[in-house]
Amino acid sequence: MGGQGAAFPLLGQPATGLRHLVRRFSWVYSPSLPDLAFALRTSLAAIISLLIAMWMELDSPQWAPLTVWVVAQSSRGESLSKARWRIVGTLVGGVAAITLMAAFPQAPGLFFCVLALWIGLCCALATLLDQYRAYGLVLTGFTSAIIATGAITQPDDVFAVSVARSSYIILGVLCEAVLAVVFMPRIVEHARTALLARLDETFQATCNTITHQLCTAAGAEQQALTSALLRRIVAFSGQIEFSALELGPRNHVGDHARRALAGMLVMLAHARALQILRPPMQLPSGHEEQVPGHVLAAWLEHDAMPDPAGGKEWQPITTALLGEMRLVMREMTACATAPHGDRFRFSLTSRRHVREALNNGIRSAAAIMGAWWLWEVTAWHHGSAFISFVALIYGLMATRENPLVATTPFLKGGLWCAATAAVLALWVIPAITAPEILLLALIIPMTVGGLAARRPELAGYAFSFNMFLPVLIGPMNMGRFDEVGFLNNTLAFLGSIVFVLLTYRVVIPFRLDVHIRRTMAWIGQRLRNLARPQALTDAPAWLSGCAASLVRILFHAAALPAPVLSACLTQQISDMTVGIYIIRLRDLLRSGSLPPRTRRVVALFLARWHKGQATPAVTHVLAWARYEQTRHPSGADHALLSEVVACLRIIAVSQHEKTDTAIAGR
């Protein structure tokens, strides 16, 4: 019995390992319905665009399905936005390519120098833009390179090549759009329902986070909870533009939704201030069965009641939090009702680092010059294709926060793409004699690639696999790749990815510590500028910009030691909290409602804050404001002074906490 009992675990281990291996591929044999619909829709659109391009007898039909995979996104709004900017970037890039070829017809050295500068300029400027506007600008640069290198052996045909490349792009966009309409009917109703549901979930998560924040002391658990919520809000804010596109023109749902999310950030900052000012609250009985928003509203309404003794130093902050919560609920209602004649506008701008843009531009220009130098030295027959691939991959990666992280899975996906393309191009495609057979041959690998694109852990691999599989197969009407042509084209593709990886490592490599220092310095400068009398930044705009920067740091959290990450998060959250109360003091001063003596002291404090000299004086100004409060025991002046005292105390405690954290993190 003992021998049998010892043997059973050994017999069970292979079965367990095999079962685990099978479950890892469940996304292939047991996909969800939305994932399968996306994969089939995009695969059919790609193959149909390829067949149409071949029917039109275009010279490079493989660029049409590549466009489909580039444009296709999970939501219709993302696809519409990306398609629009892709068309614009392609047209402008075609004009730029024709201009460059006409300017340097017999001077390849000057031509590639100017082309490198042009691509570097596009990548640099794209770093300063958001969403697919940045993609459109980058596309302008690498489209110029693709058209120019495609026509470099026959400069007189550059216009025809430009028209052909533009035709592929437009054909791919149209095929993807038509299939999307067929597969996603009633898109407006679904988009509105999804937007409202996501808004409500985010609001309830915000209320739940604030409830726990007010009941516990600050710590690592609370910091992790807040960081996760910030990621959620920032990611949602970036997606609102696409939901607004799905809802159609002439609506302001996106503006109301962005204002609601910005209000949730303000709520978090006020909750952080309450955590500083007042002792922890007690969770009410039965709160698990109640909606988090209702629990928080009841708490705040009770806490905001006037105190006859006047001892609630935190009451102005509670009132501000309750007011912001009501504003968020009004904006959510406006998203649902879409009132007639609505002209509300609300936009946000994320941080702009000119230094990062300059580095990105220099790196891109150096890569193009390096690729041209390799072609010049080796005289490789596929050197023009190599330069095209380098420009294309740089265009795809240039706007990433850390391109090196994204390029590594891109290379692994490229290896899978090359292996699959070898089987199709050398054995399957030569045996195909009808378009229907070509469709059947391509539908399986493309559908698997589409399913992988819906898996977050596989999206980086699927990115290169889906885009470049048609390019490496290279189906044509009157011919096919032979072994030598296929190997050269595949070597140019894989070599370009390795080359891009090397340039990202060698030419001004991304350093996380430098990025964090630059971000913290940028936030510190903005924090000082908030005190300027003519400053226009309000609390939602300030917090949204800071939250976006914080989320970018959290994206690289795995590469940071835990103490460094904790210190960084504490300092940035502290700055976010201080900022909204500097803004409040500035607005109180600007309103002219403060008593004359208080007005002069607050003006002096803000002037010194703007110069970076107010931190040592915060405690003294706070003591003076408390004394001044005793001279106005009641009335409007007392209420205003109470708010000034609350703001100054939050600033003092936050600055002290920031200093302690900076010392501990060293």
Mean pLDDT over 161-174 rounds to 83
**Lowest-confidence region among 20-24, 121-125, 223-227:** 20-24
- Quick one: pLDDT at residue 147? 85
The phi, psi pair for 613, rounded to 5°, reads -120, 10
Mean pLDDT over 265-278 rounds to 85
CA distances to 11, 73, 130, 431, 660 from 239, in Å: 50, 12, 11, 45, 37
Query: Which of the two residues, 240 and 246, has the higher pLDDT score?
Result: 240
- Quick one: pLDDT at residue 369? 93
- Quick one: pLDDT at residue 124? 86
Task: Considering the domain delimited by 190-278+290-337, tell me its CATH architecture.
Answer: Up-down Bundle (1.20)
DSSP 278: S
- Quick one: pLDDT at residue 366? 92
What distance in Å separates the CA atoms of residue 177 and residue 48, rounded to the nearest whole number? 12
Which residues make Cβ contacts (< 8 Å) with residue 436, sequence separation at least 6?
Answer: none
- The answer on pLDDT for 533 being more than 80 is yes
- Quick one: pLDDT at residue 564? 76
- Quick one: pLDDT at residue 475? 78
- Quick one: pLDDT at residue 615? 75
Mean pLDDT over 441-453 rounds to 90
What distance in Å separates the CA atoms of residue 322 and residue 655, rounded to the nearest whole number? 25
CA distances to 136, 226, 597 from 581, in Å: 38, 19, 20
Mean pLDDT over 200-213 rounds to 88
Question: Cβ(48)–Cβ(179) under 8 Å?
Answer: yes
What distance in Å separates the CA atoms of residue 608 and residue 574, rounded to the nearest whole number? 19
Mean pLDDT over 226-233 rounds to 85
pLDDT band at 5 (very low <50, low <70, confident <90, very high): very low
CA distances to 90, 217, 415, 449 from 469, in Å: 21, 54, 11, 10
pLDDT band at 403 (very low <50, low <70, confident <90, very high): confident
Q: What is the dihedral of CA 397, 401, 403, 409, to 10 degrees?
A: -90
- The answer on pLDDT for 400 being more than 80 is no
- The answer on pLDDT for 325 being more than 80 is yes
Q: What is the DSSP string of 499-536?
A: HHHHHHHHSS---HHHHHHHHHHHHHHHHHHTTSTT--
Mean pLDDT over 249-260 rounds to 80
Query: Which of the two residues, 216 and 112, has the higher pLDDT score?
Result: 112
Collapse the DSSP code of 163 into the 3-class scheme (helix H, G, I; strand E, B; otherwise coil) and give the result. helix
- Quick one: pLDDT at residue 559? 66
Q: What's the distance, Cα to Cα, between the start and end of the chain in Å?
A: 60
Residue 544's nearest CA partner among 332, 327, 321, 262 is 262
pLDDT band at 11 (very low <50, low <70, confident <90, very high): very low
**28-60 per-position pLDDT tens digit:** 888 888 888 888 888 898 899 888 888 888 777
pLDDT band at 322 (very low <50, low <70, confident <90, very high): confident
Domains of the chain: which residue ranges?
190-278+290-337, 512-665
- The answer on pLDDT for 661 being more than 60 is no
- Quick one: pLDDT at residue 8? 38
Query: Which of the two residues, 540 and 314, has the higher pLDDT score?
Result: 540
What distance in Å separates the CA atoms of residue 362 and residue 341, rounded to the nearest whole number? 48
What distance in Å separates the CA atoms of residue 657 and residue 386, rounded to the nearest whole number? 53
Mean pLDDT over 245-262 rounds to 78
Question: Cβ(539)–Cβ(269) under 8 Å?
Answer: yes
Mean pLDDT over 132-137 rounds to 77
Mean pLDDT over 455-465 rounds to 86
Mean pLDDT over 103-117 rounds to 86
What distance in Å separates the CA atoms of residue 144 and residue 576, rounded to the nearest whole number? 42
- The answer on pLDDT for 454 being more than 80 is yes
Question: Cβ(96)–Cβ(140) under 8 Å?
Answer: yes
Place of tokens 């367990």: 16
Percent of the chain with pLDDT over 70: 87
Question: Cβ(143)–Cβ(170) under 8 Å?
Answer: no
- Quick one: pLDDT at residue 145? 85
- Quick one: pLDDT at residue 546? 83
Mean pLDDT over 355-374 rounds to 89
CA distances to 52, 382, 570 from 420, in Å: 23, 21, 48
- Quick one: pLDDT at residue 416? 93
**Lowest-confidence region among 154-168, 177-191, 358-372, 637-651:** 177-191
Mean pLDDT over 532-557 rounds to 81
* Residue 413 exposure: Cα atoms within 13 Å on the Cβ side: 24
* Token pair listed for 449: 């690639």
Burial of residue 309 (CB within 10 Å: 0-12, 13-18, 19+) is: exposed
pLDDT band at 192 (very low <50, low <70, confident <90, very high): confident
Helix crossing, 539-555 with 512-529: angle to 10°?
Answer: 170
- Quick one: pLDDT at residue 415? 94
- Quick one: pLDDT at residue 3? 41
Question: Cβ(477)–Cβ(57) under 8 Å?
Answer: yes
**Lowest-confidence region among 51-65, 237-251, 260-274, 465-479:** 237-251
CA distances to 81, 227, 499, 607 from 235, in Å: 17, 12, 32, 36
Query: Which of the two residues, 133 and 263, has the higher pLDDT score?
Result: 263
**Lowest-confidence region among 92-101, 142-151, 413-422:** 142-151
- The answer on pLDDT for 607 being more than 70 is yes
pLDDT band at 201 (very low <50, low <70, confident <90, very high): very high
Mean of per-residue pLDDT scores for the chain: 81
Query: Which of the two residues, 76 and 548, has the higher pLDDT score?
Result: 548
Exposure pattern of 76-113 as b/e (b: 16+ CB <10 Å)? Answer: bbbbbbbbbbbbebbbbbbbbbbebbeebeeeeeebbb
Burial of residue 507 (CB within 10 Å: 0-12, 13-18, 19+) is: middle
**Lowest-confidence region among 159-173, 501-515, 649-663:** 649-663
10 Å Cβ neighbour count for 264? 30
